[in-house]
Amino acid sequence: MVNRVLEAIGSTERHCSIAEIQHALVGGLKVQDLTAAYLGAIHASDLNAFITICDERAMQQARDADRLIAALGAQAFVSRPLLGIPIGVKDNIAIAGVLMTCASKMLENYVPPYTATAIKRLEDAGAIVLGKLNMDEFAMGGSGENSAYGLTRHPVDKTLVPGGSSSGSAAAVRGGLCVAALGTDTGGSIRLPASFCGIHAIKPTYGTVSRFGLVAFASTLDQIGPMTRSLVDAELMLGVMSGRDQSDMTSIDYTYEPIPEPDFSKLRIGVPEEYFGLMPDIEAKVLDAMAWFESKGAQVQRVSLPHCHAAIAVYYLVAVAEASSNLARFDGVRFGSRLDGVFEGARALFGPEVKRRIILGTFALSARGTTSYYKQANYVRAQIREDFERVFQQVDLIIGPVTPTGAYKIGAQMSDPLQMYLNDFYTIPANLAGIPALSVPAGKVGELDVGLQVMAPWRQDALAVAAARVFDKEFLHGRI
């Protein structure tokens, strides 16, 4: 067991679940050795998945964990379900005393004096934070290339992008540099890199995980979620992080709890017709998945989300409008180097994608733009939400692609931001509607990993995950 755990470190192919690792810890593996091995793998890695590595802090946490296990044995894990589990955290989530850059020059020296609620809950549950993960600057981007600290590489093929914006999270999890990672998803930033990297990830119902301590990109869309090698691990993480937080008035009173496998004969699965006729390769994958669900006895039917063709347009107005306001605090008075000056000077520190979105968002909210753009976008957003409400009266879950393609070559889309925006076509609707959506590995298109997306009604996260658990266990093993 101990060997299996250690062999998974730094490996893109082998992995161990949280339960297996904890089993090894009860059996004598030291958390310190486990942590040191992960830290060693991170230092040796050339993926550029981490911006900050928390060597000393992580080792201190590991020593504390070992003391607890020595004192309490298996009992130590009862109230600390993540005890001894090394994780990575996207660098837009605050941990007191640990540098938080958001992959931006603007925050190259910023050390938050407070800790995000999600991190507090994970660390209270015994998780060990190995470091802060690379990302697209302020979570803006879909490839991991928009980082002031260099791009992140795909762990399986280093000429590819890992996807973004949670690029470091996906690369580190697939690359065996941590057991699990936190990502954040505003328009697909958890699901897209999970799909590209062949891992599991959940974007929960909006409000499930407190946003307190998550640097806001688009406040009405942002959600923190787990990225892992198994859905059970993701559920464990989500169970710990979820639940109403007094510090986030938009958090909801919903604590995630896994449910047993659903009765597939009673399950109605919807497939949006708007998701077809665009990308034949990926659609073939979804057709296979449909056939699998039918073979399990589920009733699979075509549904329609008529307004989802406008989702990208709506998203790139709502998200950028909110971003232009959320990023206004970086005015050079307190962030950025003093030498850069305030306002104009300091704001030159933003990278091109961030600047582009701030300019778009500022216009969308301006007196000239708000009626035709921002307000109109919110109107259409409500229509998209109604589309889902209507469809979820007919079906229990919706399945579809996560991404139009598998991972692409580094640099392939950097000159064409619009093409990159289109990658979010399948993921954005769930953010706009606030509903849960996950990405589960669905095999390969050519050489490239792709995921299947499963969406559920508001707060029905556990149903989507339970169905996807069975899919995960059976689909690939039966077919490939």
> Which are the catalytic amino acids?
90, 165, 189
Query: Per rule CB under 8 A, is residue 428 in the interface with another protein?
Result: no
Alpha carbon distance 147, 58 (integer Å):
24
Segment contacting another protein by CB under 8 A, of 12-20, 140-148, 334-342, 434-442: 334-342
Q: Which of 93, 129, 192, 320 binds another protein (CB under 8 A)?
A: 93
Whose Cβ is closer to another protein: residue 8's or residue 100's? Answer: 100
Q: Which of 19, 72, 110, 470 binds another protein (CB under 8 A)?
A: 110
Query: Per rule CB under 8 A, is residue 291 in the interface with another protein?
Result: no
Residue 132 main-chain phi, psi, to 5 deg: -110, 135
Whose Cβ is closer to another protein: residue 343's or residue 379's? Answer: 343
Alpha carbon distance 414, 425 (integer Å):
18
Whose Cβ is closer to another protein: residue 212's or residue 388's? Answer: 212
Query: Per rule CB under 8 A, is residue 250 in the interface with another protein?
Result: yes
- Shortest approach of another protein to residue 432 CB, angstroms? 13
Segment contacting another protein by CB under 8 A, of 93-101, 166-174, 187-195, 414-422: 93-101
- Binding pattern for the stretch 111-130 against another protein, x by CB under 8 A and - elsewhere: -xxx-x--------------
Alpha carbon distance 314, 334 (integer Å):
32
Q: Which of 76, 102, 298, 445 binds another protein (CB under 8 A)?
A: 102
Alpha carbon distance 252, 190 (integer Å):
20
Alpha carbon distance 193, 170 (integer Å):
6
As a dihedral over the C-alpha atoms of residue 302, residue 450, residue 458, residue 119, rounded to 10 degrees, the angle is 180
Query: Per rule CB under 8 A, is residue 376 in the interface with another protein?
Result: no
Residue 196 main-chain phi, psi, to 5 deg: -60, -35
- Shortest approach of another protein to residue 201 CB, angstroms? 21
Q: Is 249 exposed, middle or buried (0-12, 13-18, 19+ CB in 10 A)?
A: exposed
Alpha carbon distance 434, 239 (integer Å):
19
- Shortest approach of another protein to residue 329 CB, angstroms? 5
Whose Cβ is closer to another protein: residue 58's or residue 116's? Answer: 116
What 3-state DSSP class applies to 259? coil
Query: Per rule CB under 8 A, is residue 249 in the interface with another protein?
Result: yes
- Shortest approach of another protein to residue 325 CB, angstroms? 5
Query: Per rule CB under 8 A, is residue 350 in the interface with another protein?
Result: no
Alpha carbon distance 259, 278 (integer Å):
35
Query: Per rule CB under 8 A, is residue 367 in the interface with another protein?
Result: yes
Q: Is 260 exposed, middle or buried (0-12, 13-18, 19+ CB in 10 A)?
A: exposed
Query: Per rule CB under 8 A, is residue 323 in the interface with another protein?
Result: no
Alpha carbon distance 116, 280 (integer Å):
42
Neighbours of 207 (CB within 10 A): 21
Q: Which of 11, 12, 220, 299 binds another protein (CB under 8 A)?
A: 220
Query: Per rule CB under 8 A, is residue 415 in the interface with another protein?
Result: no
Whose Cβ is closer to another protein: residue 101's or residue 143's? Answer: 101
Let me know: does 144 contact 164? Beta carbons within 8 Å.
yes
- Shortest approach of another protein to residue 328 CB, angstroms? 2
- Could you tell me which of 458, 451, 455 has the C-alpha nearest to residue 472? 451
- Shortest approach of another protein to residue 216 CB, angstroms? 7
Whose Cβ is closer to another protein: residue 159's or residue 247's? Answer: 247
Query: Per rule CB under 8 A, is residue 374 in the interface with another protein?
Result: yes
Q: Is 220 exposed, middle or buried (0-12, 13-18, 19+ CB in 10 A)?
A: middle
Q: Which of 333, 341, 348, 379 binds another protein (CB under 8 A)?
A: 333
Q: Which of 328, 372, 390, 474 binds another protein (CB under 8 A)?
A: 328
Q: Which of 196, 212, 254, 275 binds another protein (CB under 8 A)?
A: 212
- Could you tell me which of 19, 17, 53, 50 has the C-alpha nearest to residue 35? 53
Whose Cβ is closer to another protein: residue 11's or residue 250's? Answer: 250
Q: Please tell me what DSSP assigns to residue 77.
A: G
Alpha carbon distance 134, 47 (integer Å):
10
Residue 324 main-chain phi, psi, to 5 deg: -60, -35
Q: Which of 170, 308, 365, 399 binds another protein (CB under 8 A)?
A: 365
Q: Which of 75, 79, 159, 247 binds another protein (CB under 8 A)?
A: 247
Alpha carbon distance 152, 158 (integer Å):
9
Q: What angle do CA 115, 116, 120 make, to 5 degrees?
A: 75
Query: Per rule CB under 8 A, is residue 337 in the interface with another protein?
Result: no
Whose Cβ is closer to another protein: residue 320's or residue 464's? Answer: 320
Query: Per rule CB under 8 A, is residue 343 in the interface with another protein?
Result: yes
Let me know: does 180 contact 412? Beta carbons within 8 Å.
no
- Shortest approach of another protein to residue 327 CB, angstroms? 8
- Shortest approach of another protein to residue 352 CB, angstroms? 20
Q: Is 352 exposed, middle or buried (0-12, 13-18, 19+ CB in 10 A)?
A: exposed
Alpha carbon distance 206, 272 (integer Å):
22
Q: Which residues bind another protein (CB under 8 A)?
A: 92-94, 100, 102, 107, 110, 112-114, 116, 211-216, 218-220, 246-250, 321-322, 324-325, 327-331, 333-335, 342-343, 362, 365-367, 370, 374
